Amino acid sequence: MQHQTILVLDFGSQYTQLIARRLRELSVYCEIVPFNTPLDTIRARRPAGVILSGGPMSVSDVGAPRCDAALFDLGLPVLGICYGMQLMTDVLGGAVRPSGHREFGHATIQVAAETPRLFGGTPSSFRVWASHGDDVGIVPEGFRVAATSATAPIVAMEAPTRGLFGLLFHPEVVHTEHGGAILRAFAFDVCGCTGDWTISSFVQEATTRIQHLVGNGRVVCGLSGGVDSTVAALLLHRAIGDRLTCIFVDNGLLRYEEAAQIRRRFAERMQLPLEFVDATDTFLTRLDGVVDPEQKRKIIGGTFIDVFEERSRELGEFDFLGQGTLYPDVIESVSVLGPSAVIKSHHNVGGLPERMRFRLVEPLRELFKDEVRRVGEELGLEREFVVRQPFPGPGLAVRILGAITRERLDLLRLADRIVADEVRRSGWYERLWQSFAVLLPVQSVGVMGDARTYEYTVAIRAVESLDGMTADWARLPHELLAAISSRIVNEVRGINRVVYDISSKPPSTIEWE
């Protein structure tokens, strides 16, 4: 089935992913493509509409990104957001000028008296989130002003007979009131979408795609025990059955009793074809004495590939490698404005060594994290597992500052288990993006009973976030923090002090290493 699709041309905005997320929430399928996607490619996709994202540059800057001007003559509905509106204005003969008052943050807009097409579901005045240094001074010929603000004479414009619309604010962010209504109006009223994209339809289509891609081939899948790789493995198993083999590598850096839980969950309960490899000694030997966090990550990544490759070779010939790559991984690994704009190099995107001659099958590469969780529920995963907090690929290695030893791993596992127990008991677990313990290379004096102690310090980290890109430290109740601290110092011999991390991202990262 061919879904109605809205294409988002990415001009480098930090909010581009949010546009796609908001449309998916309306059951409208949406894809993000580079701003310079050829016109023939766009035409061949037959989208229901196109959205031009915001971006960090000015349209007057040398080298500013521009789409093909003929895009506006295709007869497709087009919505320009912030930079997208300025570009639309510039291309179609209007005037863009530096703002007299740069707007970054909340602004109040007034909708034109003759209700504009995108504002039928909004009040006449409401607050929006602005982020721009340029204004539209004169709208292009055939456009009319749809909304104004105290500092910007034109914050929205439209040429409804041509299906062209512009907004100088961001309807996709939660700070904009009625932003969802505006995007709904564009998708449904202007583009004619019916909201035909559902998680159930995705599962059916993904199964068919996998079958067509793999044919009679065999797939090997690296199972980490996390939500992404688990859901990917379940989809693959649904599509090709026993021609899938999952390999789980125990690197010795997992949480308390996690390896045993994974064995029970996947091999016994889910009946996935699972090969279990205990490589604890190999990983810890290679990590012995290593303190630098980047070196730790490289050693862990390289060792995993070595162990995975050796075991897969022992199991015979495989044609495909299954991975739980998500849409943000794909987007963030593609440069929009040149190499300097790449956010990160992701291990699941183009990270295979040349000697591993597998073709990739990535059934989740169209999905965001919250959508993967919904697919998991659709496939019968228990809720406790589906809502599980993210766990870093290098495991507890990035939560132990300094050298990694078996003794320090055991201390951290016990402390981390207490954090998880108490956070769940308090009802905070699903409200948090992540909550965990970090073992610091700091020992301090304490008193237990009548004895003097000189033991380790643990930091507790708990953050709230929508996607992990930014995060704020969680204002956990003092009673919860007290319970965590009391249990750790009383139950974990070797730790006598607990501190709470009140840093946000940015400037800090979520993990400590």
> Annotated catalytic, 172?
yes
Return the number of other C-beta atoms located less than 10 Å from residue 97's C-beta. 12
The token pair at 26 is 């309306």
| Distance separating alpha carbons of residues 202 and 209, to the nearest angstrom | 10
Catalytic residue, from 67, 103, 158, 170: name it. Answer: 170
Catalytic residue, from 30, 103, 132, 172: name it. Answer: 172
Q: What is the residue type of 395?
A: G
> Annotated catalytic, 221?
no
Torsion on CA atoms 85, 91, 94, 98, rounded to nearest 10: 60
**Edge-to-edge strand list for the sheet holding 244-250:** 274-278, 244-250, 219-222, 320-322, 359-361
DSSP bridge partners of 24: none
Q: Is 318 helix (H, G, I), strand (E, B) or coil?
A: coil
| H helix or E strand, kind and range, residue 108 | strand 95-111
Q: Is the peptide bond before 65 cis (omega within 30 degrees of 0)?
A: no
The token pair at 426 is 């308090």
How far is CA 352 from its chain centroid?
A: 21
16 Cβ contact partners less than 8 Å away, ≥ 6 residues apart: 8, 10, 32, 53, 54, 331
Catalytic residue, from 82, 193, 221, 246: name it. Answer: 82
Cβ atoms of 466 and 505 within 8 Å: the answer is: no
The token pair at 304 is 């995993």
Q: Is 200 helix (H, G, I), strand (E, B) or coil?
A: helix
289 Cβ contact partners less than 8 Å away, ≥ 6 residues apart: 403
> Annotated catalytic, 422?
no
254 Cβ contact partners less than 8 Å away, ≥ 6 residues apart: 225, 395, 396
| H helix or E strand, kind and range, residue 484 | helix 478-491
| Distance separating alpha carbons of residues 220 and 212, to the nearest angstrom | 17
| Distance separating alpha carbons of residues 471 and 433, to the nearest angstrom | 8
Annotated catalytic residues are 82, 170, 172
